[in-house]
Amino acid sequence: MRYIYQVCIRLLVFLCILTFLNTSYADDLNHDQKIEFFHTKVKPVLEQNCIRCHGGETEVKGGLHLTSREKILEGGHYGAAVSLENPTESFLLEMVGYSQDTAQMPPDGKLDDDSLEILAEWINIGLPYPTTTDDDQPILHTESDYWAYRALKRPNVPSVQNTDWVRNPIDAFILAKLEQTSLTPASPASKQALIRRVYYDLTGLPPSPDAVEAFLNNTAPDAYEKLIDTLLQSTQYGEKWGRHWLDLVRYAETNGYESDSDKPYIWRYRDYVINSFNDDKPYDEFIKEQLAGDELDTVTAGTIIATGYHKLGVWDTGPADRKLARYDYLDDIVSTTGQVMLGMTIGCARCHDHKIDPISTQDYYSFLAFFHDITPHNGGPLADIGTPEQKTERDRLLTEKRIAEEKFHDELFRIQEDIKIELAKGHTEPISPEIKVSPIRDLTYRFYRGVFEQFPNDFNALEPTAEGRLFSNLFTLTPANPKKNIGLVFEGILQVPENAIYTFHQNLNGENRLILDGQLVSELSGNSDTQITLSAGDVPIRLEFFNKDLDKPNLDISWSGPNFTKQPLSTNASINFGKLLNTHTDYIKSNESLKSLVNKYNEVKQQRDQRSRQRVPYVHQALAVSEKSQTPTHILRRGNPHLVGREVKPAFPSVLNPSTVVIPTLPKEIRSSGKRRVFAEWVVDADNPLTARVMVNRIWQYHFGRGIVRSSNDFGLLGTPPTHPVLLDWLASEFIASGWRIKAMHKLIMTSNTYLMSTQNNPKFLQLDANNDLFWRFNMRRLAAEELRDSVLMITGKLNPKMGGPSVFPELPEEVLATASRPRNVWGKSPPEEANRRSVYVKVKRSLLVPILNQFDQANTDSTCPVRFSTTVPTQSLTMLNGKFINDNALSFANRMRNEGGADLKEQVQFGLRHVLCREPEQVEIQQALTFMQELQQHDSVSSEVALNRFALLALNLNEFIFLD
């Protein structure tokens, strides 16, 4: 029933169109509207369905070329394809309408009704067809000559008239297009505007007044280049550009859904990203590490952490349909990877072939097959990523802890037994109903832990780890902890009732010796019965037991005699000690020696508990990818995991004419399929037409506010076409030639005159090109959420520059915490100086957002975020006027003005504005502040101190502070 409503309506519309066919309305559309109709409606239909066979340069099927109006009218082997006189009788419509049994196009299935309508309407309005486009590309793209799928070729730098303006080749590309129009580049930005722009672009922070002054006074010809170099070397660079990447990969530190549980150690991935940018890691390596860091030739802690990429998405711990959830999880990886690394919305082909782009469902599942064996979030253990030294140290600490805990166990056990014995002394009745009668008395144990390789002949020659009495008077393994590599020696007196033959039934799986009256009775493992004659009275009994490596040692002995059968001499049970103490509280109070024993017990127990609580931290674990056994991937019909279709093998999207996938066998120590590595290598292959284009476009976007392709996650037909396709190709070629170095691209872009332009408006140009498609000036932008928060902290002098590590928790208002279902446990607490770290280190919890970051359009974390929104709403103003964060900081800022600005109020204001605006304030601006404060004092009766506090708040709200020229 899918689309049934729409189909019905569309059919109606279609019928209506047909009804109107012979009216004259068609003539009322002007030429531009008709061409627009072709571009938006007809072209996609042709490209997706027809052009594969009817668009080639040389041979086409049936001789019919659909690549120009003339050729269509000319027709193919079967005559004219279109009749302009009788549009409805056009042969083309007959073919696509499937009205004949033999002549049906396209052959693999009838077009949907939408497309049929469009073709009919197209013919009806006279078959409009544009002639050329800007860049002399074919109007209709066969799939492989679509601009984004075309092989990357380094274009020639165009020649321009105004060569003076060309600082580097970028400018030639920009100017070449401008010179085709009446537009000219804007004047260069002032040095003040430039340093602020450059600082924010590269570090996300404002320049200090000293930095501004130094730059303004530096007249050296390379002053600007030096500035860029310095900032590219700063660690703040990675924090700014790493954040861009984190937006793309929908980085968050919790899983979302019902429990929104933490993703352990995922902050290591955040640090990995920041460090990678700071280290100028080549982009191809960066991609390979994230996709397949566990499968590379050299696997390091860093490459393992990088694979946390696969664990960043949302994950439902308790899904309604586990199978569906599994494929939702994989889809999330496929969609994100497709959009982020390739600019392909491949995720759209999950349920049906992509409606617009040449991506089939088969492509989708073949793509998914590369990731199919990844374990879900909780499926694999955390990866061990420590250095050998860290591992040794951790092992040492663990051993130390274990030994300490064992000692406590031995001592506690001994005291417990002593207490029971003492307790029994004062009672005639059994002290606990669980107590069994034993024919043995005065039974002692000696416990030996891990001191020997094999069953010792002479335990007496060895030093026991622990020894004591056994209250139960039965052999038992309870003194042993652990149970492996241990020896136990029991000695007691067996009370033999009469002279007779007795049978000892043994079921011991460790090695053992049973000695009665000094004589070895038995030393067999397993089930055995041994008969021995004993005389009435006390007979010394001794049992030696040894377990090397059995997981479940067993100690089970009983005996039988003339008048009794199978009386146990051993036990597995233990009395509940806490309960025992509770039962006899009063008696214990009355007995001094018992009291001191119990006190001792409690004391040791407390020490034990304290020691146990001291965790040996996992200093070297990471949430990383892992794979389980390989299972075949199937096409799922309509995306439904319960409708399993045919099997597919890993393959790259067919539209890119890829090579066949060969998955090499990996060495045994790598416990994964190797598929992701093959995928990663294809992504960063220099022949992949998309990867470099997509990434340089992003770099451009983050500098200029918009990409050359505005839809930076979608290079397909639904995306926006590039405004400067040739420049894009040139940049992509440069990028690869530089060894995929991102910093080299920054330097290249930022040293162009294009980047150096001011944001100055030109009303005439604005009218001609309101969207600045031609880059005739630089685009203003608002600070991003993180830049805003970080700048406030920086200006007020509170920003803590510490890098890396677990995320921090800035204080949140009660009202915000109350929105969580567990208001008290939902958010952590960081000391103030930690809370004042850069926003990239603030905890990213999917179900609880930090208001100031959320309100200023931080990235949505549930799907990839290629472009931040930049919204303006009153609630932002409320936060910036009344919020605790801003008011606390305004106060600190005012104090800073007082303490560092100078004695004079005017100087203080000057100091404040200098910090906020990153320039020398003008006299009139200072004067305005002074008047403001005077009025506050005169009319609102506030003190001079408070007046300055208010001015500090005002300053942090200035548009000039929040927007960049």
Partner 1 sequence: MSSQSETYKTTKSTSNFCGQTRREFIGNIAGGFASLALTGLLSTDGFLESQVFAEDGVTPYQNPLSPKPSHFTPKAKRVIFLFMYGGPSHVDTFDYKPELIRLNDKTVQVKTKGRGGERNKGRIVGPKWEFKQYGESGQWVSGLFPHIATCVDDIAFIKSMTADSPLHGSAMLMMNAGRIISGHPSLGSWVNYGLGSENENLPGYVVMLDRTGGPISGAKNWSSGYMPAVYQGTVFRSEGEPILNLKRSEDVSDSEQRRLLDYLRKYNSTHLSKRTDNTDLAARISSYELAYKMQSAAPEAVDLDSEPEHIKTLYGIDQKETEEYGKKCLLARRLVERGVRFIQVYSGGAHNDDNWDAHGGIERNHNKHAKATDKPIAGLLKDLKQRGLLDETIVVWGGEFGRQPTAEYAKGTGRDHNSYGFTMWIAGGGIKGGISVGETDELGSAAVINPFHVRNLHATILHQLGIDPNRLTYFHGGLDQKLVGVEGAEPIWQAMS
Q: By CB under 8 A, what part of segment 403-432 binds partner 1? A: none
Whichever of 63 and 823 has its CB closer to partner 1, that residue is 823
Nearer to partner 1, 172 or 936 (CB): 936
Pick one of 169, 716, 722, 725: the residue that binds partner 1 (CB under 8 A). 716
Selected binder of partner 1 within 399, 444, 821, 899 (CB under 8 A): 821
Query: Least Å distance between CB 872 and partner 1?
Result: 4
CA pair distance 716, 146, nearest whole angstrom: 9
User: Applying CB under 8 A, which part among 52-60, 153-161, 251-259, 431-439 lies near partner 1?
Assistant: 251-259
Which range in 167-175, 205-213, 675-683, 881-889 contacts partner 1 by CB under 8 A? 881-889
Give the total residue count for the chain: 965
Position among 876, 889, 892, 910 found at the interface with partner 1 (CB under 8 A): 876
Tokens coding 461: 């020659």
Q: Does 930 bind partner 1 (CB under 8 A)?
A: no
Q: Under the criterion CB under 8 A, does residue 717 sit at the interface with partner 1?
A: yes
Using rule CB under 8 A, residue 809 touches partner 1: no
Candidates 107, 221, 318, 388: give the one binding partner 1 (CB under 8 A): 318
Please state, in angstroms and as integers, the Cα–Cα distance from residue 891 to each residue in 69, 836, 942, following that order.
71, 15, 15
- Each residue 9-48 as x (binds partner 1 by CB under 8 A) or -, in order, gives xx-xx--xx--x----x--xx--xxx-xx-xxx-xxx---
CA gap 395, 670 in Å, rounded: 24
- Of the candidate residues 77, 100, 136, 320, the single one contacting partner 1 (CB under 8 A): 320
| 854 part of the interface to partner 1, by CB under 8 A | yes
- Does the footprint of partner 1 cover residue 326 (CB under 8 A)? no
- Which CB sits closer to partner 1, 833 or 935? 935
The least CB distance from residue 138 to partner 1, in Å, is 18
Q: Least Å distance between CB 763 and partner 1?
A: 8
Please report how close the Cβ of residue 854 comes to partner 1 at its closest, in angstroms: 6
What does the alpha-carbon distance between residue 945 and residue 963 come to, in Å, rounded to a whole number? 29
List 117, 171, 295, 373, residue binding partner 1 (CB under 8 A): 117
The only residue of 879, 906, 907, 914 in contact with partner 1, by rule CB under 8 A: 879
- The one among 83, 137, 144, 259 contacting partner 1 by CB under 8 A: 259
Q: Which of residues 614-643 bind partner 1 (CB under 8 A)?
A: none
Query: Which residues, listed in sequence order, are joined to residue 512 by a DSSP beta bridge?
Result: 545
Beta strands 633-636; 644-648: pairing state: antiparallel
Q: Which two tokens stand for residue 462?
A: 């060895």
Applying CB under 8 A, does 895 fall inside the site for partner 1?
no
- List the structure tokens of 890: 């305004």
Which tokens belong to 341?
A: 């690394």
Kindly give the interhelix angle for 923-939 and 944-956, rounded to the nearest 10 degrees.
Answer: 130
CA–chain centroid gap for 291, Å, is 12
Q: Which of 4, 220, 437, 903 binds partner 1 (CB under 8 A)?
A: 4
Residues 6+ positions from 122 with CB-CB distance below 8 Å:
37, 38, 41, 42, 128
Mutual orientation of helices 388-425 and 592-613 as an angle, nearest 10°? Answer: 160
Residue 713 has what DSSP assignment?
Answer: T
Q: Are 600 and 439 in contact (CB under 8 A)?
A: no
* Euclidean distance between CA atoms 956 and 881, whole angstroms: 9
Task: Tell how strand 466-469 and strand 644-648 pair up.
Answer: unpaired
824-843: which residues touch partner 1 (CB under 8 A)? 826
Q: Out of 214, 299, 666, 867, which residue is the one contacting partner 1 (CB under 8 A)? A: 867
Using CB under 8 A as the binding rule, the residues of this chain from 278 to 317 that contact partner 1 are 314, 316
Could you write out the three-class secondary structure of 513-556? Answer: EEEECCEEEECCCEEEEEEEEECCEEEEEEEEEEECCCCCCCEE
129 vs 601, which CB is nearer to partner 1? 129
Using the rule CB under 8 A, give the single segment among 58-66, 97-105, 609-617, 855-863 that binds partner 1: 855-863
Least distance from C-beta 849 to partner 1, angstroms? 6
Contact call for residue 872 and partner 1 (CB under 8 A):
yes
In degrees, rounded to 5, the angle at the alpha carbon of residue 336 between the alpha carbons of residues 332 and 337 is 115
**Nearest by Cα to 492 from 468, 524, 466, 525:** 468
- In the region spanning residues 906 to 925, those forming contacts with partner 1, defined by CB under 8 A, are 925
Tell me: does residue 962 bind partner 1 (CB under 8 A).
yes
Told to check if 846 binds partner 1 by CB under 8 A, we report yes
Q: Which of residues 211-240 bind partner 1 (CB under 8 A)?
A: none
725 touching partner 1, by CB under 8 A:
no
Stretch that binds partner 1, among 81-89, 282-290, 540-548, 863-871 (CB under 8 A): 863-871
* Exposure string over 735-760, b if 16+ CB within 10 A, otherwise e: bbebebbbbbbbbbbbbbbbbbbbbe
Residues sharing a CB contact under 8 Å with residue 440, sequence separation 6 or more, in sequence order = 473, 474, 492, 493, 494, 495, 541, 569
Q: How many CA atoms lie less than 13 Å away from 639 in the CB half-sphere?
A: 17
d(CA 264, CA 827): 15
> Peptide bond before 106: cis, by omega within 30 degrees of 0?
yes
Q: Minimum Å distance from CB 258 to partner 1?
A: 3
- CB of residue 362 to partner 1, shortest distance in Å: 18
* Residue with token string 């002549």: 103
Q: How far is the CB of 186 from partner 1 (least distance, A)?
A: 12
Regarding 398 and contact with partner 1 (CB under 8 A), the answer is no
Chain positions 333 to 352 lying near partner 1, rule: CB under 8 A, are: 335, 339, 345, 347-348, 351
- Min separation Cβ 142 and partner 1, Å: 18
